[in-house]
Amino acid sequence: MARKLLLTHIDVPGIQTLEVYRQKGGYRAVEKALKTLTPDEVVEEVKTSGLRGRGGAGFPTGMKWSFLAKPEGVPRYLVCNADESEPGTFKDRYLMTYIPHALIEGMIVSSYALGARTSYIYVRGEMMPQIRILEKAIAEAKNAGFLGKNILGTGYDLELYVQPGGGAYICGEETALLESLEGKRGNPRIKPPFPAVSGLYNCPTVVNNVESIAATVPIINDGGEEYAKIGVGRSTGTKLISAGGNLNKPGVYEIELGLPVEEFIYSDEYCGGIANGKRLKAVVAGGSSVPILPANLMVKTVSGESRLMTYESLADGGFQSGTMLGSGGFIAFDEDQCIVRNTWNFTRFYHHESCGQCSPCREGTGWMEKVLHNIEHGHGSYSDIDLLVNVAKNIEGNTICPLGDAAAWPVGSAIRHFRDEFEWHVANGREAQTRNYGLAHYADPLEPVV
């Protein structure tokens, strides 16, 4: 049985309440950090743990913390990014719904480490039920003396608030999130200055994902060194994976980084294989933005090694034959799914969610959506396929924030790996709407890789 750190007590009845959460050892990390460690020592523990940002970028959390500017007399802020909107990802919703105190406890520990006296949890507006759950948990924690003035008699003060978003994927980008938290449109800021120097209200600010913040609790409880023992190489600790699509057992799983992808898909401890006895065609491993891979490349790398759930192994082969761990949004496609239709769907999503600041993204996502619509609906031409590649290339790297890249990668990778399916759509026009291209040669993981 794999080790769990975040979801250990998820099945305990009443774990949402402070009382039960404490019975299971909750808020020990707050006591330990505030009473026995200096803020810098907490930062050091997190650095030692090797924890990497769980929102998608994978940047080392401890290093991000150490960049925080600390000018005299200027408040510093910690903002939790709970604007979970990346298609395929639903782990933060799960954590906040079922074990909200894990996030609250992590917020207290992390705020202490950073010297923040006011912290915000920015939750996407659609998650009103989760907002109510968190507000209740905060009230409980405050009542018990874990929040407010002079926490546990240590002299440390902290106020924690929940902020709702308004329904905008772009607010998951940290500077757009800060704009939104200031009551403005979610337009990403030009960096530098980075939030660590000038973030919320122009003050030094750290923005961390829900899961990253919750992970600081086991890191403080057991020590960074213990945490770093789990995993492979620079991929330390456990990771929440949101598994969706055509799987027998979709849901949120906590895995030890280093788990083989094949085991994750097929073993009964995790997804239990492909639903309805079908075969696997493709996987998007880390949320809709990361490159889609055909099943054979998903399970094994080009060199024939078993692919592991780590930042490095998933990226093996670069974008030619690899992908990214991203946010851990794992989407499985069975043999009946149409790659063209899905790519069109994702591109419509990015067009809808582009904030409109940068022309390559604002216009490019719309063009890609239209061209893909044409191909999917039987009006495409062969040159459209190269046109898509061209537009995607011209968006990538030419925008203020990574939404442009996130829109370009799914298109580029779908054509790279499934070009024959696009060509088949062009050649077969309207027939392609009623009949699927099927599994073709991509991929049966149970057969040897060509």
Partner 1 sequence: MLSVKYNEPGEFTEEMLGRFAEIVARYPEGRQKSALLPILHEVQAVYGWLSVPAMDNVAAYLEIESIEVYEVATFYTMFFLRPQGKFVLEVCRTGPCCLVGAERIMAHLEQRLGVKEGEVTADGLFSWRGVECLAACGYGPVLQIGPEYTFHENLTEEKVDELIKELKNKAEGRELTAES
Rounded Cα distance, 346 and 369, in Å = 9
Member of 180, 209, 216, 313 binding partner 1 (CB under 8 A): 180
Determine how β-strand 238-245 pairs with β-strand 251-256.
antiparallel
221 lies in the site for partner 1, by CB under 8 A: no
> Which residue among 27, 146, 169, 227 contacts partner 1 (CB under 8 A)?
169
Whole-number minimum distance, CB 305 to partner 1, in Å? 28
Give 295-344 as a DSSP string: HHHHHB-TTSPBPBSSHHHHHTTHHHH----TT-EEEEEETT--HHHHHH
The region, left, alpha or beta by phi > 0 then psi within -120 to 50, assigned to residue 356 is: left
Can you tell me which of 191, 201, 233, 428 binds partner 1, judged by CB under 8 A? Answer: 201
Which residue, 34 or 162, is less far from partner 1 as judged by CB? 162
Closest by CA position to 172, among listed 62, 79, 99, 64: 79
Q: Is 140 in the site for partner 1 (CB under 8 A)?
A: no
- Quick check: 269 binds partner 1 (CB under 8 A)? no
Beta-strand runs (E) in 151-210: 159-164, 205-209
**409 lies in the site for partner 1, by CB under 8 A:** no
Work out how close the CB of 290 gets to partner 1 at its nearest, in angstroms, rounded to a whole number: 13
Longest Cα–Cα distance in the chain: 73
Q: Quick one: which segment of 57-65, 156-164, 227-235, 376-384 binds partner 1 (CB under 8 A)? A: 156-164
- Position 289 contacts partner 1 (CB under 8 A): no
What does the CA dihedral 196, 197, 200, 201 come to, rounded to 10 degrees? 170
| Nearest-angstrom CA–CA distance, 364 and 397 | 13
26, 62, 65, 84: which one contacts partner 1 (CB under 8 A)? 84
Stretch (H or E) spanning 235:
strand 235-236
- The reply on whether position 252 binds partner 1 by CB under 8 A is yes
Cβ-Cβ contacts under 8 Å for 268 (sequence gap 6 or more): none
Residue from 89, 110, 216, 354 touching partner 1 (CB under 8 A): that is 89
In the list 174, 353, 376, 396, the residue contacting partner 1 (rule: CB under 8 A) is: 353
Tell me the per-residue interface mask from 322 to 341 with partner 1, x by CB under 8 A, - otherwise.
-------x-x-xx--x---x
Position 342 contacts partner 1 (CB under 8 A): yes
In the block, tokens 């890609």 appear at 368
Q: Which of 238, 229, 278 is nearest to 257 (CA)?
A: 238
Under the criterion CB under 8 A, does residue 435 sit at the interface with partner 1?
Answer: no
| Joined tokens for residue 110 | 């992390």
Taking the mean position of all CA atoms in its chain, how far away is CA 185?
A: 22
Residue with tokens 């507006």, as numbered in its chain? 125
- Residue 182 binds partner 1, judged by CB under 8 A: yes
The footprint of partner 1 on this chain (CB under 8 A) covers a number of residues equal to 57
Judged by beta carbon, residue 49 or residue 246, the one nearer partner 1 is 246
Q: Which residues bind partner 1 (CB under 8 A)?
A: 75, 84-90, 92-93, 118, 120, 124-129, 159, 161, 163-169, 180-186, 201, 242-246, 250-252, 288, 329, 331, 333-334, 337, 341-342, 345-346, 349, 352-353, 355
